[in-house]
Amino acid sequence: MERVGFFCLMLCGYLHMISSETLHVRQKEGNIAVLHCGRLTNGKVTWSRDTNGQRVDILTTHDGETTKHIADPDRRYSSGANLALTIFRVSQSDAGRYYCSGATVELSVTEQTLHVRQKEGNIAVLHCGRLTKGKVTWSRDTNGQRVDILTTHDGKTTKHIADPHRRYSAGANLALSIFRVSQSDAGRYYCSGATVELSVTDRLKSMTTTSTATTTTTNRRSTEAPETETTTQGSYDS
């Protein structure tokens, strides 16, 4: 009888370990994250996640049919026959703990940093990683705080800051365009698909460097005396 009780205790502990199994998934911003529900591949599963201290249901999948419990206008969430939760175009806000009937999944989203360099006075175009469609909000670090610049969706742009000179815009490809960039525009920008580091070079220094290089080349050419070929003609006595 004691052996039976011990066996039940071990079995219950094993089942508890399976039910509380935590899987870890790491993905880059803008890519697709696939979260598997432990060893489950059939049956009925509801995926949920922690949001603001509460567990919120995302979707339920059963026999190939999916029912969503949250608004998903950009169709970022889906589930297939294997019960896995697929998240398209993952961003930092997607990082966290997800739950299903078979496991707990910890999703980590690594920052994808792109680097853009432009001269003062030109147009800087910042692409949102691989994203070319959907809804995107561009923001930047300003005085230690992240400030939203604009949101673009289906060709429509909503600006969140004053822009009297119309320096900021976004096109159909979700890229942020900054007209007449200056040194104050340099810094880190964020969107749903990537982080972009913008460097702005001083136009005057660039022009001075180019001018100096041209002058040096000209002086070098002028000091190189051309070779002169001298031909001496002989005289004949008649």
pLDDT for the residue 207: 55
Q: In degrees to the nearest 10, what's the CA dihedral of 116, 121, 123, 125?
A: 20
CA 127 to each of CA 123, 124, 148: distance values in angstroms, whole numbers, following the listed order: 13, 10, 16
pLDDT > 60? residue 152: yes
pLDDT for the residue 130: 79
Residue 145 and residue 201 in contact, taking contact as beta carbons nearer than 8 Å: no
Q: What is the pLDDT of residues 24-67, one digit of tens each?
A: 999 988 889 999 998 888 889 999 999 888 999 999 999 889 99
Q: What is the pLDDT of residues 64-83, one digit of tens each?
A: 899 999 999 888 999 987 89
pLDDT > 70? residue 213: no
In the structure encoding, which two tokens stand for residue 34, read together?
């696939």
Q: Which of 188, 94, 194, 181 is nearest to 136 (CA)?
A: 194
Q: Which DSSP string do the residues of 45-92 spell out, in sequence order? A: EEEEEEETTEEEEEEEEETTEEEESS--TT--EEE-TT--EEESS--G
Q: Where are the beta strands (DSSP E) in the chain?
A: 22-28, 33-35, 44-51, 54-62, 65-68, 77-79, 85-87, 96-99, 104-110, 113-119, 124-126, 135-142, 145-153, 156-159, 168-170, 176-178, 187-190, 195-201
Give pTM, 2 decimals: 0.56
Indicate the DSSP class of residue 225: P
Q: What percent of the chain has pLDDT over 90?
A: 50
Residue 66 and residue 57 in contact, taking contact as beta carbons nearer than 8 Å: no
pLDDT for the residue 181: 97
